[in-house]
Structure 1
Amino acid sequence: MIRIRKFAAIDIGSNAMRLLITNIVEQEGKEAQFNKNALVRVPIRLGQDSFTVGEISQENISRMVDAMKAFQLLMKVHKVEKYKAFATSAMREAYNAKEVVEIIKEKSEIDIEIIDGKEEAIIIASTDFHHLLKTDQTYLYVDVGGGSTEFSLFSNGQIKASKSFKAGTVRLINEMVCDIVWEEMEKWIKIITQDYDEVILIGSGGNINKIFKMSGKLEDKPMSFIYLNSQYSFLNSLTYEQRISEIGLNPDRADVIIPALQIYLNAMKWSGARNIYVPKIGLSDGIVKAMYYDKI
């Protein structure tokens, strides 16, 4: 006898908003299975407002309200039992964030919680990596968002360190990441990985998922540093328009994919990693699992 429950996660990021609806299959004597039922992504670039002028614009507030109304209806149709909506870097830094949260609550009945970088990293790390990780190896998990990048180091199947840096793709295309942030990131990665002979990267985020999809590799196969670097050089040689017309990238992906690759490549270089796995997991997955196991 099995029981199927439906949980949802809303991730309000700096580059896009996402709704993930997950089927949780419960069977006596077995571990719960988490199967993605639906994933909806809306490209509302809140970071462009927040990082450049310090507030979410009225236009984007209106778009957020419409998106949240749609998310609410989708959750109702799917008969979602429980949900959480978390906002990250862009909303953290917008001085009208509280007002935006109140408007969305009034118009769509969705409660939004704004979380800090440390909470974000912990939630992402709560995602179950056991099916990915070999206990005798060391992994650096890298989640690149629009406003920040979250890192978590796993060794012997356990999390050893976790940190968030204000270096995201939307910040980078607006030239808002200073050298000090890069230097701090490099120093932290080198320090936490220095005692390990070999480190493997796990990449998360829409940009690395797109690169992985373009590679044609099977899900359990990694991409090498050499391959990732060649893709970076190739994409960087194209104009923004060419990335859209010739490669087929979405307009909101075609500009941020370059700085995202810079972060992944630097993380590999500083940690000494030669390979990166891309298992298609992120904050939304972490939210669902953290909810299910009563961690949030």
Structure 2
Amino acid sequence: MVIRKFAAIDIGSNAIRLLINNVIEQKDRPTLFKKSELVRVPVRLGEDAFLRGAISDISLKRLIKTMQSFDLLMQVYGVEKYMACATSALRDAKNGREIIERIQQESNIKIEIIDGKREAEIITSTDLKDVIKTDRLYLYVDVGGGSTEFTIFDKGAPVLSRSFEIGTVRILNNLVTETVWDDIKSWIISHIGQDRQLEIIGSGGNINKLHKMSGRKIGQPLSYIWLNAQYHFLNSMDYEDRIAELGLNQDRADVIIPATKIFLNAAKWSRAKKIHVPKIGLADGMIKTLYYQEA
């Protein structure tokens, strides 16, 4: 048995994550990927990028300190390879390229800014065999702060993906028009058809939190009915009460409502009654991508 350590850094619009995985190689057995550590830092880059068009000096300082700490953690854990990807916020920021150059100088972390298509490709490289059945149609929905990736799975394989500029931070700041919602609705309806039963696979920190709040066991899907009731319940509470009474983090208590709205609309337009929550996403896909690139 050989145990190797790989890491993924996901620089999103609402938060930054470091995922460290143990990759267990055994002779004549499938390679196993086990989460060793997950660190999440609430640096909301999206508000800078989407409202002001550039990352501010204050956010840059926090970002550099975060990357420096991630570099140290990877050294302590003995990570042999890492992959760092920035998504919607740094894609949109006019100083995005300058930011990643500065980070590399200050922290030695090399970052790749990926577009929506590449983001969807990485996400769908995750291991979904325990969720996806080959006789069903699925819509994979990954909700981020700045963008949402939709992927249709048929016969167990991804057949079509689309990234839309809609996310929790954009919605909170009133940056999403009805036209975007209409485009998503049209895309889903035109590619799903009317005669196929479909289920949703949800990805992202908000749907993971909703699943935990539901009290359901791992592997047990959420229902559309429960999600709709939970949306109205959360929407009826003040921001402060969501923190004090529900125990939500400050940077989760606001974005969880627009995230729920995206999932609800996706389910309504696709006529899905179940939302599976395997708790895997971009960072997991980055680990798999990194590992199999060298295989």
> Same-fold call, TM > 0.5?
yes
How far off is 1:30 after superposition?
1.3
The letter of the residue matching 1:280 is K
Q: SS at 2:199's partner residue?
A: strand
Tell whether the 8 Å contact from 1:8 to 1:75 is kept in structure 2 after alignment: yes
* Superimposed CA distance per residue, residues 27-68 of structure 1 (whole angstroms, 9 cap, x where no aligned partner): 111111110000000000000000000000000100000000
How far off is 1:197 after superposition?
1.7
The letter of the residue matching 2:21 is T
Aligned to 1:10: 9
| Residue 87, structure 1, aligned to residue 82, structure 2 | no
**What are the equivalent positions in structure 2 for 1:237-248 lying under 5 Å apart?**
237-248=236-247
Q: SS at 1:151's partner residue?
A: strand
Q: Distance in 2 between matches of 1:46 and 1:28?
A: 43
How far off is 1:195 after superposition?
5.6
Aligned to 1:42: 41
How far off is 1:208 after superposition?
0.6
Aligned to 1:136: 135
Tell whether the 8 Å contact from 1:55 to 1:95 is kept in structure 2 after alignment: yes
How far off is 1:172 after superposition?
0.1
Tell whether the 8 Å contact from 1:87 to 1:114 is kept in structure 2 after alignment: yes
| Residue 236, structure 1, aligned to residue 255, structure 2 | no
* Superimposed CA distance per residue, residues 214-258 of structure 1 (whole angstroms, 9 cap, x where no aligned partner): 111111111100000000000000011111111111110111111
The letter of the residue matching 1:117 is G
Q: Distance in 2 between matches of 1:209 and 1:295?
A: 31
Aligned to 1:209: 208
Q: Distance in 2 between matches of 1:225 and 1:254?
A: 21
Q: Is the alpha carbon distance of 1:69 and 1:87 closer, same or farther for their aligned partners in structure 2, counting shifts above 3 Å? A: same
The letter of the residue matching 1:238 is M
Aligned to 1:122: 121
The letter of the residue matching 2:200 is L
Q: How many residues are matched?
A: 295
* Superimposed CA distance per residue, residues 138-171 of structure 1 (whole angstroms, 9 cap, x where no aligned partner): 1111000000000111111111111100000000
Q: SS at 2:293's partner residue?
A: coil
How far off is 1:129 after superposition?
1.0
When normalised by structure 2's length, the TM-score is 0.98
Tell whether the 8 Å contact from 1:138 to 1:196 is kept in structure 2 after alignment: no
How far off is 1:122 after superposition?
0.7
Q: Is the alpha carbon distance of 1:28 and 1:196 closer, same or farther for their aligned partners in structure 2, counting shifts above 3 Å? A: farther
Aligned to 2:152: 153
Aligned to 2:264: 265
Q: Is the alpha carbon distance of 1:13 and 1:170 closer, same or farther for their aligned partners in structure 2, counting shifts above 3 Å? A: same
The letter of the residue matching 2:259 is A
The letter of the residue matching 2:148 is T
How far off is 1:128 after superposition?
1.7
* Superimposed CA distance per residue, residues 155-196 of structure 1 (whole angstroms, 9 cap, x where no aligned partner): 111111111000000000000001111111000011111165
Q: Is the alpha carbon distance of 1:204 and 1:121 closer, same or farther for their aligned partners in structure 2, counting shifts above 3 Å? A: same
How far off is 1:261 after superposition?
0.4
**What are the equivalent positions in structure 2 for 1:15-30 lying under 5 Å apart?**
15-30=14-29
The letter of the residue matching 1:72 is D
Q: Distance in 1 between matches of 2:78 and 2:15?
A: 24
Report % sequence identity.
56
Cα RMSD of the aligned pairs, angstroms, is 1.1
Q: SS at 2:272's partner residue?
A: coil
Q: SS at 1:293's partner residue?
A: helix
Q: SS at 1:11's partner residue?
A: strand
Q: Distance in 2 between matches of 1:196 and 1:113?
A: 41
